[in-house]
Each structure stands twice: as C-alpha cells, then as structure tokens.
C-alpha cells in the first residue's frame, strides 16, 4: 500500500514538473513574428520602424554587451564576467556566416524573449531574456527592423570559459524552471500610465534587476527586488524609495539628471553604471526618464534604517579625519559637499551608506573616471591611492566618510581592504626609509 502511495506521489510530482516545463518553455507567443524573411534579405525595413527600433535598442542597452570598445557595433566579442566564468557575447549583425543573417524574425523573438537560439540551444541568462520576456510585440518588431538595418560584420564568437557543470546548456532547463517567469508585462490598472511605463522599462528592456537585485548561489534573483547586490567585487546600490540606502532623498528631477548626464548634486556614475548611462539612459527621452524615476521612488524597498554612527571621538574616526584632510578635501570639500556634476558629494549620501563599502574601497585603491555624456562632457577622474595609503589608512578614511555629515554606516575593516587589494592586483603602498 505504501509503495502504491509513493508511486502515485511520484507520478503526480513528475506530471507537475512536466506541465511546469512545458509552460515555462512555451514560446508560442513569439509566433506572432514573421517566419519567412531572414535578416539578410535585401528588402529595406520601414524607416519609421528602424528609428523606433533604434530607441528600443537604447532602452535594452544592447550595444553595451554586443560590442567591444572601438569595435563594430553589435558584432559581439564582449566578455561578460560572471561568478561561473566568462560568457562572450555573440555577433547579432545580419552577417549570414557568423551573425544572425539567416535568422527570421521569429527566431529573433524566441532568442530575445525566451532564451532559445535558432538551433534550439538554450542561452545563458547573461542574456537577460528573463527581463526581455516582458517586452511587447510592437517593441520587438521595431527592434528587429533596426537590427536588420545595421552593417553586417563577419566575426565569429569566442568560446566561453565556463567550467563544469555550468558549460552544459541543457542545465538551463532547470534554471528556467526555477527562475524564469514566462509572462509578458501586464499593466497595473490601479496605477497611472506613467508608473506603468516606468515599470515596463525598469523590469523589461532596462533589466535593472540584473545588477540591482541580489542573486542566489545559482544566479537567480532573490526576493530583495532592486534592494542592492554584490556584483563581482562591486556593489550595485539599492534603487528604491528607501531614504537611507535608496533614492528616497533624491527628487525625481535629480534621478532623471543622474540617468541623463551621469551625475547630479551627489553622485557620479562610473564603472558598470557609467556604461549603462553612456550606452543607454542618456539617450532616453524626458518622459521615459520621468517614468523610471517615478516608478523607482514609489517602491518601499528594504526598509533599512540608519545604524548608530561611529562616534567622532573613536580613534578610527580621528585617524580618518586627518587622512581625509590631507588627501580628499581638495576635491570633495570640507564638509563633503563635492562639486555638483563633477565630484561625488559625500554629505547625506545614501550611496555612501550602503551596507557594502566595496565600491568605495576599489575606487580609492585603483581610482576611477566618471562617464562622459553628451550633456556633461567633463569626465572627471580620481587618482589611485593604492601606492600611497595602506589598508588601515583606507579603512579609516572610509569609515570617517561613511559616518560624517549626516551619514551612518558600519566601519570599514582593514582586512577587507587587503582582500580587495589582492583581488584587484593593485600596487602595495610605498614604504618610507628612515
């Protein structure tokens, strides 16, 4: 009797998994796309559709991953660093040998929204199809028209460097079952058209959760939606309306300014976010920027509260104050004001108060350069201090910054600085002979 019960349960479980796999892998929504004309066909797409599609490509930041600096746009070759190895982006120009010139529109839809190549192989989620699945038919029709119009380039993809078992594409069936929600965007009738537009862009083409939502051991999103995430030695901050660690203290106009120019009264974009601004958000129209800002600020976020600040009388804070005066004050100013649009302002800065100090540590160690945009061409740089400040000095000055001028955050540990120094392979501080 027990065997029969267990056998029945097993059948039910297997049937449930089978149904879930079918629903999860069902790409029939893409049948709306044309399955006859291939990308390399000579007939020119509609000019208006191409123009709209170029804007959709900007929303999706397609060029950032499918191009290399100085190379032909969309020819691939960019190495995406992941915790599991490097995934090299592919050529998506209409070249018939090495690109997608032999693909139909339906092939394109299924790759973008369902992570399936023309040959049936599953894509790795470094291609954010779990976000792009929310994109509308109209947007994808236009994007396809634009991609067909770009210059074909013959450039074969470099092999990925994923180790076992991550190099087994069939394993993506399990990943998709766990983390891929096969559903297009459905507007919330209780919200405004602007709010819905913002959510559509953030969750769909913008794929903001790819960086700003924490990941589990398998690389799937956690439930901490847009509440910040460690990212290969860096930290993508919380971008909700939380005033302590998110965007709650920024006005909508300040959020829009940051996305448009790469800087505002307090923050300067660099690194991965600098690339997103450079290739994507600076080209969004004002209405879309306002929609994104409004949606993000409407989110309650993590609810993280400010901890008790490290006392100014603490020896680490006193040491940090002296180091700040000698090394940082000239640019960041006496009270951490910074320079609007050029140098990060530390005072009452939610980014400075993030639970992780990894961004600040790496910036002090190796320096950095702000993104240059069409509306803010002054890409100010910060020098590296790896050669000048030891691990204890850096820990002290960052603890001081994170607990001054209205900020409160955990102290920075010298050992964390040492680990970052080793990981970044930067210089050791100079020793002074006496």
Q: Which two tokens stand for residue 381?
A: 């740089």
The model carries a pTM of: 0.91
Query: What average pLDDT does range 407-412 have in this prediction?
Result: 96
Q: What is the predicted pLDDT for the residue at 291?
A: 98
Task: Report the distance separating Cα 276 and Cα 282, nearest Å.
Answer: 9
Q: What is the pLDDT of residues 26-63, one digit of tens each?
A: 888 899 989 999 999 877 779 999 999 999 999 999 99
> Is there a domain that residue 247 lies in?
no
Domain CATH code at residue 410:
1.10.760.10
Which range, of 7-21, 36-50, 80-94, 348-362, averages the lowest pLDDT? 7-21
- The confidence band for 433, taking pLDDT boundaries of 50, 70 and 90, is very low
Query: What average pLDDT does range 389-397 have in this prediction?
Result: 97
Residue 9 has pLDDT above 50, yes or no: no
- The confidence band for 164, taking pLDDT boundaries of 50, 70 and 90, is confident
Torsion of CA 19, 24, 29, 33, to 10 degrees: -130
> Is there a domain that residue 342 lies in?
yes
* Degrees to nearest 5, angle at CA 244 with 338 and 286: 65
> Is there a domain that residue 277 lies in?
no
Q: What is the predicted pLDDT for the residue at 263?
A: 92
> Is there a domain that residue 238 lies in?
no
Residue 178 has pLDDT above 50, yes or no: yes
Domain of residue 417: give its range. Answer: 315-424
Q: Which two tokens stand for residue 377?
A: 């061409």
> Is there a domain that residue 235 lies in?
no
- Of 153, 179, 205, which closes a domain? 179
| Cβ neighbours, 10 Å, residue 165 | 9
Q: What is the predicted pLDDT for the residue at 58?
A: 97
Query: What average pLDDT does range 367-396 have in this prediction?
Result: 91
Phi then psi for residue 217, to 5 deg, are -65, -25
> Is there a domain that residue 109 lies in?
yes
> Is there a domain that residue 192 lies in?
no
- Of 179, 202, 230, which closes a domain? 179
Task: Report the distance separating Cα 183 and Cα 130, nearest Å.
Answer: 9
Beta bridge partners of 263: 268
Q: Are residues 319 and 174 in the same domain?
A: no
Number of domains in the chain: 2
Query: What average pLDDT does range 153-165 have in this prediction?
Result: 89
Q: What is the predicted pLDDT for the residue at 432?
A: 52
Region at 213 (left for phi over 0; alpha for psi -120 to 50; beta for the rest) = beta
Q: Which two tokens stand for residue 249?
A: 């203290």
Residue 4 has pLDDT above 90, yes or no: no
> Is there a domain that residue 366 lies in?
yes
Q: Which two tokens stand for residue 380?
A: 């100010």
* 280-292 as b/e: b if 16+ CB within 10 A: bbbbbeeebbbbb
- Of 136, 164, 179, which closes a domain? 179
Q: For the chain, give the mean pLDDT.
A: 90
Q: Which two tokens stand for residue 241?
A: 């309306």
- The confidence band for 7, taking pLDDT boundaries of 50, 70 and 90, is very low
User: CB-based contacts of 230: which residues, under 8 Å, 6+ apart?
Assistant: 214, 356, 358
């Amino acid at each position: 009797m027990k065997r029969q019960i267990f056998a029945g349960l097993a059948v039910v479980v297997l049937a449930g998994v089978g149904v879930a796999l079918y629903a999860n892998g069902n790409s029939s929504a893409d049948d709306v796309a044309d399955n006859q004309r291939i990308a390399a066909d000579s007939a020119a797409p509609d000019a208006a559709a191409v123009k709209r599609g170029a804007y959709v490509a900007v929303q999706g930041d397609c060029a950032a991953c499918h191009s290399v600096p100085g190379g032909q746009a969309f020819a691939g070759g960019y190495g995406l660093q992941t915790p599991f190895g490097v995934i090299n982006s592919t050529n998506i120009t209409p070249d018939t040998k090495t690109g997608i010139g032999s693909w139909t529109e339906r092939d394109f839809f299924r790759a973008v929204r369902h992570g399936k190549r023309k040959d049936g192989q599953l894509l790795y989620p470094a291609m954010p199809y779990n976000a792009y699945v929310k994109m509308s038919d109209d947007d994808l029709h236009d994007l396809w028209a634009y991609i067909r119009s770009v210059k074909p380039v013959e450039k074969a993809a470099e092999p990925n460097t994923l180790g076992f078992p991550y190099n087994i594409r069939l394993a993506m069936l399990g990943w998709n079952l766990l983390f891929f929600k096969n559903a297009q965007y459905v507007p919330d009738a209780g919200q405004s058209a602007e709010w819905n537009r913002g959510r559509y862009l953030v969750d769909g083409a913008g794929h903001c959760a790819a960086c700003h939502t924490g990941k589990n051991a398998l690389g799937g999103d956690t439930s901490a939606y847009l509440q910040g995430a460690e990212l290969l030695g860096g930290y993508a901050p919380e971008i909700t309306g939380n005033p302590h660690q998110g965007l709650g203290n920024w006005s909508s106009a300040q959020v829009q300014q940051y996305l448009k120019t790469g800087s505002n009264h307090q923050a300067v974009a660099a690194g991965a976010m600098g690339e997103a601004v450079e290739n994507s958000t600076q080209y969004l129209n004002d209405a879309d920027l306002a929609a994104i800002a409004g949606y993000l600020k409407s989110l309650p976020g993590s609810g993280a509260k400010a901890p008790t600040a490290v006392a100014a009388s603490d020896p680490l804070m006193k040491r940090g104050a002296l180091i700040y005066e000698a090394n940082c004050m000239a640019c960041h100013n006496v009270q951490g004001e910074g320079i609007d649009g050029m140098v990060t302002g530390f005072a009452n800065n939610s980014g400075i108060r993030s639970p992780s100090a990894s961004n600040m540590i790496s910036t002090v160690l190796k320096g950095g350069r702000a993104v240059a945009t069409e509306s803010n061409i002054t890409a100010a740089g910060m020098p590296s201090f790896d050669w000048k400040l030891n691990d204890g000095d850096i820990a002290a000055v960052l603890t001081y910054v994170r607990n001054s001028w209205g900020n409160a955050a955990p102290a920075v540990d010298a050992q964390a600085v040492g680990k970052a120094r080793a990981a970044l392979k930067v210089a050791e501080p100079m020793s002074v002979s006496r």
